[in-house]
Each structure stands twice: as structure tokens, then as C-alpha cells.
Amino acid sequence: MSVNGTVVSELGTKIIPGVDEVSLDGEMVELPDKKVVVMLNKPAGFLSAMSDDHGGRCVSELIPTDAYPGLFPVGRLDKDTTGLLLFTNDGELGNALIHPRHHVAKTYLAWVKGSVGLRALQTLQEGVHLEDGITQPAHARVLEQANDRTLLELTIYEGHNRQVRRMGAAVNHPVEQLERIQIGPVELGDLQAGKWRLLDEEEHRALLAATGLSRDRMDS
């Protein structure tokens, strides 16, 4: 991290909001008292946690926690699932994004075993019976079929534990590879695996609108 062009390695360095310019890895960052949302393209093998008592690798290793104290993951992806994971220092926004009453859509690309037919696709769309209840209607479509595998695009509106993997298993098409590509209006795009970026103002405001929160709160 650098402050006003000078590399800083000393803990406890003071920064004056609105005066000092802070950079991380050569990129200008906003000061931590401002509400921010960070996008990470999570690689496989990382836990969606800020720390782990058993020494597992955590997503906190990949995001700018020094520049933005208070960041926490919005929901989670299991260890083997890759793709879009959001972090924020805005507790109200984080809670709103995962609360089921807001029905914020989450879209995945899933390679599953077997050739997915019309019946299985219809079940995914209408609702799958899981141990903790039936899932809400989802959007599901086949993108590709090859070598006894099917690539599905699946959009869900809730967040049960390992939901997409359990849905696949329930229709006899276990998930082999899973990537999340979109949360609400925010798309992963071409962000490289293991890299992060701040949401721009338009993306941030769209995310607030998707949860019904005031778009003015990002400036407070």
C-alpha cells in the first residue's frame, strides 16, 4: 500500500480523509469510511470466510482488507465453487442481499453429469423437493451438451446451503463444476480468477435498488 505515492509498511499509519491519496497494487482506492462493495472472482480451494480455526485458505487472503477494514462476505460459495463473491462494509446492504424477502437473483453456470432432458429441466424450473423444503421456481436452460455432460445456466432466488448442487443431485444430474456469474444486476464479466475490483457507482446504486435500499446511503 502507498500513501501519497510513498510505500507504507508501518502499522498504524494515519490517513486524513479527503486529503491523502491511498493506492493498493498501483490502483487508487477510496478511504475506508465510505461504504464500498468489492467483487472477487473466487477460485476453487478457498473458504468463503475471513478466517478459519483449522488453517484453511480463506477469501480474506485475496481482498484488500487493509484498505477497507470491516469487509465481510455477502453470503458464501462452497470451497469447490468458483465465481462471483461480493464483500461490503455496509451491514444493512449485506443483510438485505441475503434476506429471502428481497428475492435477489443469483445466476450460475453448472456442468452436470448426463444429458439433461425436458422433465429434469421442468423440475428445476418449477421447484425441487429438498430436505429443507421445496425450492422457489428457478430459471434453467441448457447451453451445451457434450461427452455425457450438460452445461446449464441456472438462476435461483434464494440461498439454501449448497442449493444448486443439491438441486442437481435431486434430478439425478450431479454437479461436477459450478461457477456463479451474476448477483442481482452485478455480473462477474471478465474479471480474472483470484482478482478483485470495486463496484463502480452505477453497479453499487443498482445493487442498492435491487434490495429496495436508498441509493443515497452509499454517500453516507
Say whether pLDDT at 185 is over 70: yes
Domains and CATH numbers, the chain: 1-31 (no CATH), 32-99+184-219 (3.30.70.580), 105-183 (3.30.70.1560)
Q: What pLDDT is attached to residue 220?
A: 55
Round to whole Å and give the CA distance between 58 and 51: 6
Query: Count of residues for the chain?
Result: 220
- Looking at residue 17, its amino acid is P
Round to whole Å and give the CA distance between 19 and 141: 51
Say whether pLDDT at 18 is over 50: no
Mean pLDDT of 172-196: 98
Q: List Cα–Cα distances, 217 to 114, 181, 186, 201, in angstroms.
A: 47, 26, 18, 12
Residue-wise pLDDT for 142-169, tens only, equals 999 999 999 999 999 998 889 999 999 9
Say whether pLDDT at 38 is over 70: yes
Banded pLDDT at 81 (limits 50, 70, 90): very high
Banded pLDDT at 33 (limits 50, 70, 90): low
CA 72 to chain centre: 11
Most confident of 24-38, 89-103, 203-217: 89-103
Most confident of 6-15, 31-40, 191-200: 191-200
φ, ψ at 159 (rounded to 5°): -145, 55
Residue 144 C-alpha cell reads as 451445451
Question: Exactly one of 25, 66, 78, 200 is catalytic; which is it?
Answer: 78
Q: What pLDDT is attached to residue 13?
A: 62
Q: What pLDDT is attached to residue 11?
A: 53
Sign of the CA dihedral running 109, 113, 114, 117: negative
- Any catalytic annotation for residue 78? yes
Cβ count near 69 (within 10 Å): 10
